[in-house]
Structure 1
Amino acid sequence: MGYRFRTDLKWSDVTPKGVFLNRRQLMAGAAAFGLARPAMAKIAAQPSAYSTDEVPNTLEDITSYNNYYEFGTGKEDPAANAGSLTVKPWTVKIDGMVDNPGDYGLEDILANVTLEERIYRFRCVEAWSMVVPWIGFQLSDLLARAGIRAGAKYVAFETLMRPEEMPGQAYPILDWPYREGLRLDEAMHPLTILATGLYGEELPNQNGAPIRLVVPWKYGFKSIKSIVRITLTDKQPPTSWNMQNPREYGFYSNVNPEVDHPRWSQASERPLGAGIFGGRVPTRKFNGYDEVAGLYAGQDLAVDF
């Protein structure tokens, strides 16, 4: 069964009781796990029609247990090490098959691309599952501003390369910088967003500040963090995990319980925050976002994994 989407949500509905904190309390708690940054601004945003009605995880869950190998391979490493990252000012280069290539400042993007930012309460899957109240806007808005040229078929993304601030890049775990890609129709789907915040605040460093991709029907490693380059191309772009181990990580990386990872079953998942005795739950195809199934009509998703 797919998700039920709500259009009548209020901010108080998005935040579970006991987690909605005032600014002073939030910043005090954030400092404990490396979240605080100077001049963090409150973000005014309305709920998106694409939000799930599932209860989101706590702020501590979302910001203290992360995959971000640029800051270390341990789940707690990003929160401990990401405070060194400088995220202001920030520029995203948009190039390739676009009418308006150039270096786009993040403030300019936020001022001119979106009429209003939205809260996208999405369920996300990495080695665990969680529900995150992202704040962001549809990727299609930015691509439309750049002007997509005829013949473009894919969108490639690249993460910042700055080893002096990202200590994990000193180790050849992956072929840095981190790279990802989507087919153009995936990128243009309204569920595909660029996130710049969560829980009413600017995006924490360990969660991919200042701008990251979120594709909720795919596994988490497709949602590239700290984006500095977006390229439109007519060729399928290389992606970091597929380059590192193509047998285990395909280009599409859709959540598909019917296709096992070579080293483990993907038929079930562990919800983050459930505790060691919380157990596993059945994995939903496309992570429950059934409306994207039409993007793959005619494809064998056991082959195009």
Structure 2
Amino acid sequence: MTSLDIAPFANALVLGLSIASIWLIAAIGLTIIYGTVGVINMAHGEFIMLGAYTSYALQSSLGLPFLLCLPASFAVVALVGLVIERGLIRYLYNRPLDTLLATWGVSLVLMQGVRLIFGSDPKYIAVPEIFQSNVEIGFASLSVFRLVVLAITALIVAATAWLFYRTRFGMQVRAVMQNKEMAASFGINADRVYMTTFAIGAGLAGVAGSLFGVLAIVLPTMGTAYVVQAFLVVVVGGGTLMGSVAAAGLTGELQSVFAFVTNDTFARFLLYVLIVVFLRFRPRGLFAVAKGRR
């Protein structure tokens, strides 16, 4: 194979990492909520959408720089998630079908609410000019902003791993996941753990939305485009943080390589078929952890 043949394939591999980072950052909040609380959050896509609109609103009304919009989006969407968990989700734990329907209803309410406030016309999030250029990596050419997304994703994964595996709060989370009643006997407030975890997961979706709002136009329906991939990453990864990292990397690279060989539409078809076959033989995902459920 000549260097001319290698260059496009290498570019596809690098692009696959970019795709993986996008899918992972969409999935990481969902992984936290599902892995800890056991809730299949159908409103996760709308949390992503709220993050994008938060950044747009802060830029257009206050002129806030883009990098400051990221923590602001986390705070705003985390607060929305906190209100939803306290007002609705907390009453539906251990009722998966009711939770599924309730979060789907929440997603419709959020979508229509944003449409009423901001309208249905597309919005745009501005980024500094330094992020709008391209950088050459060997044979590959990649936008600086995609590299920023990759770096932010790595930072979020590291911070999340530290929070859940190196802190007292993380120890409490793992204890509640293993046995809620036993954890309560040691003075751990499971209700507070669920509330905090749900808010963190929602906030991370808000950060994802701020990043995605730069890569695509901001619309009330934009969350739908990302939530499917987020669910696939979580399911293939087995609902664990490291599983989601591995699943995002694997699916992102496969998507990019398949698209290089065929086209984007057929690549998605092949990827979904492979995921279905994989789950047929390993329904618990890549790194599923045996645990008692609440």
**TM-score w.r.t. structure 2 length?**
0.22
Higher relative contact order (CA 8 A, sep 6+): 2
Specify the structure having the higher radius of gyration (Cα): 2
**TM-score w.r.t. structure 1 length?**
0.21
Q: Going by fraction, where is helix more abundant, 1 or 2?
A: 2
Q: Going by fraction, where is strand more abundant, 1 or 2?
A: 1
